[in-house]
């Protein structure tokens, strides 16, 4: 018989929930985790992992199509979506199996079913109540839509887009943020005509404006169309197509409309408001130590205002476990959380944008290193660059990168930001040649006043 009491009860088994469970178990706490679906959450099953599998398949398609430029005689015969989905699903299944094994190894009790927070530190599942000394709310997020825009038929979210068994000929993507540009990139590589509609003035609007311009230039070269600074007004569909209308009076006919306007907190129906949890726009409010307004109740991940990133939730889960265990962990610096958008080319950043640095410090020094000076980037035939943002008479406070595979460079960039390093601290570090990582070193050499592979 399952024990209904534990040191910690967690509602939700996504990145934040399971990281909290495993770290708490490592620290000797007993843990009950409640999950209505599969452990691993959105990231593993409907987000990070399956989308990146599609993006890799898209990269392979581009390489096959463009082999001649490398002296390789290759061609793209077509996209077998059954094969692509099989590849994607096998990766997800393997990781899910491994995660299930970790739950057993860490002796975390998993309760399957829909949980409801009923106050105190208690969660109810199918009439059974589970009480902890502390409880963690970790119910994640859902794919949002716009008022009056009903999902169904040819109007889909990323949830349905991940399981398409065909490549659409024409797609309109509503939203030019991370999800929108990633799916636009995939479908263009698979041969679709793609148009992105973004109400804000630029694509990836949360990134440095320089990065948006770089990405927009690259998308134009790839034939990805986009309309920015214009609002969506409606969509009508038939059995064969969907027509999208904009405030400008323009209309677009397509096979599909992907609604990629962000994700909302999955808080409704879980008893939070009824139990008196402080909330705003559906988000659960916490202090910097992730405590809600109720004693013994914490919240984690996409449920909490801020960046909706799996690795943010993961780190927050670890933080809460250590906080409950009395280890007094260091508060997480939200600006120090790395961000990567995995379209082609990739966008990666950590710290402050130029605009944010100017707002905080009054002014900022910047430097852009173009990847045309980097040997490995030329081998990969990628354009882009690295932008450094430095506080006045202070350290580097922001790094933004655009180019193929630059997401793999974000680890060092995060260390530089967290270290509060000055250009003179980083410039002497040796970066292996030829690597794209070398471009980061060259950027810091230039900012330190000793540029080498910099033209003009």
| pLDDT tens-place string over residues 93-137 | 999 999 999 999 999 999 999 999 999 999 999 999 999 999 999
The per-type count for the chain, helices as H runs and strands as E runs, is 13, 24
Phi then psi dihedrals of residue 46, to 5 deg: -135, 20
Is residue 342 within 8 Å of residue 52, measured between CB atoms?
yes
Is residue 259 within 8 Å of residue 155, measured between CB atoms?
yes
Report the DSSP beta bridge partners of residue 135: 9, 297
The CA-based diameter of the chain, rounded to the nearest angstrom, is 73
CA distance 59 to 185: 9
CA distance 243 to 227: 15
Q: Mind listing the pLDDT tens digit of every residue in the chain (456 residues)? A: 356 999 999 999 999 999 999 999 999 999 999 999 999 999 999 999 999 999 999 999 999 999 999 999 999 999 999 999 999 999 999 999 999 999 999 999 999 999 999 999 999 999 999 999 999 999 999 999 999 899 999 999 999 999 999 999 999 999 999 999 999 999 999 999 999 999 999 999 999 999 999 999 999 999 999 999 999 999 999 999 999 999 999 999 999 999 999 999 999 999 999 999 999 999 999 999 999 999 999 999 999 999 999 999 999 999 999 999 999 999 999 999 999 999 999 999 999 999 999 999 999 999 999 999 999 999 999 999 999 999 999 999 999 999 999 999 999 999 999 999 999 999 999 999 999 999 999 999 999 998 887 765
Is residue 310 within 8 Å of residue 48, measured between CB atoms?
yes
CA distance 425 to 418: 13
pLDDT of residue 1: 39
pLDDT of residue 450: 87
The one catalytic residue among 96, 433, 453, 455: 433
The H-or-E segment that residue 388 falls in is strand 385-390
The per-residue DSSP string of 74-120 comes to: -------HHHHHHHHHHHHHHHHHHHHHHHHHTT-EEEES-EEE-ST
Tokens representing 365?
């020094």
Active site residue 453: no
CA distance 328 to 144: 36
pLDDT of residue 2: 55
Residue 134 DSSP SS3: strand
pLDDT of residue 112: 95
pLDDT of residue 422: 97
The H-or-E segment that residue 158 falls in is helix 158-161
Is residue 130 within 8 Å of residue 113, measured between CB atoms?
no
Question: In angstroms, what CA-CA distances link 393 with 340, 357, 448?
Answer: 28, 13, 12
* Cis-peptide, bond into residue 375, ω within 30° of zero: no
């Amino acid at each position: 018989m399952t024990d209904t009491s534990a040191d910690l009860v967690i509602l939700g088994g996504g990145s934040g929930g399971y990281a909290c469970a495993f770290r708490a178990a490592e620290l000797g706490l007993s843990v009950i985790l409640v999950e209505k679906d599969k452990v691993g959450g959105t990231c593993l099953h409907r987000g990070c992992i399956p989308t990146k599998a599609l993006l890799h398949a898209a990269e392979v398609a581009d390489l096959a199509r463009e082999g001649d430029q490398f002296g390789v005689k290759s061609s793209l015969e077509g996209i077998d979506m059954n094969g692509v989905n099989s590849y994607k699903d096998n990766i997800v299944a393997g990781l899910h199996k491994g995660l299930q094994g970790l739950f057993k190894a860490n002796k975390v009790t998993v309760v399957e079913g829909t949980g409801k927070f009923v106050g105190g530190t208690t969660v109810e599942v199918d009439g059974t109540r589970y009480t902890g000394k502390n409880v963690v709310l970790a119910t994640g997020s859902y794919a949002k839509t716009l008022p009056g825009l009903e999902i169904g038929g040819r109007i889909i979210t990323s949830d349905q887009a991940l399981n398409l068994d065909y490549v659409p000929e024409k797609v309109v993507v509503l939203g030019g943020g991370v999800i929108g540009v990633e799916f636009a990139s995939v479908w263009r590589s698979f041969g679709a005509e793609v148009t992105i509609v973004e109400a804000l003035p630029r694509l990836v609007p949360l990134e440095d404006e320089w990065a948006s311009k770089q990405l927009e230039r690259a998308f134009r070269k790839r034939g990805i169309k986009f309309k920015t600074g214009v609002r969506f007004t409606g969509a009508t569909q038939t059995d064969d197509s969907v027509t999208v209308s904009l405030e400008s009076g323009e209309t677009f006919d397509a096979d599909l409309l992907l609604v990629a306007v962000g994700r909302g907190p999955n808080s409704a129906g879980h008893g939070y408001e009824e139990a008196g949890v402080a909330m705003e726009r559906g988000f659960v409010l916490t202090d910097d130590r992730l405590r809600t307004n109720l004693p013994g109740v914490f919240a984690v991940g996409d449920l909490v205002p801020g960046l909706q990133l799996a690795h943010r939730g993961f780190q927050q889960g670890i933080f809460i476990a250590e906080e409950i265990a009395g280890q007094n962990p260091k508060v997480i610096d939200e600006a120090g959380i790395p961000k990567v958008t995995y379209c082609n080319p990739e966008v990666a950043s950590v710290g402050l944008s130029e605009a944010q640095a100017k707002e905080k410090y009054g002014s900022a020094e910047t430097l852009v290193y173009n990847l045309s000076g980097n040997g490995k980037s030329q081998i990969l035939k990628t354009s882009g660059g690295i932008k450094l943002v430095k506080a006045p008479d202070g350290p580097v406070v922001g790094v933004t990168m655009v180019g193929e595979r630059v997401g793999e460079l974000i680890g060092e960039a995060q260390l530089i930001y967290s270290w509060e390093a000055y250009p003179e601290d980083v410039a002497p570090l040796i970066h292996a040649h030829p690597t794209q990582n070398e471009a980061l070193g060259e950027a810091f050499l230039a900012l330190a006043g000793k540029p080498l592979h910099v033209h003009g």
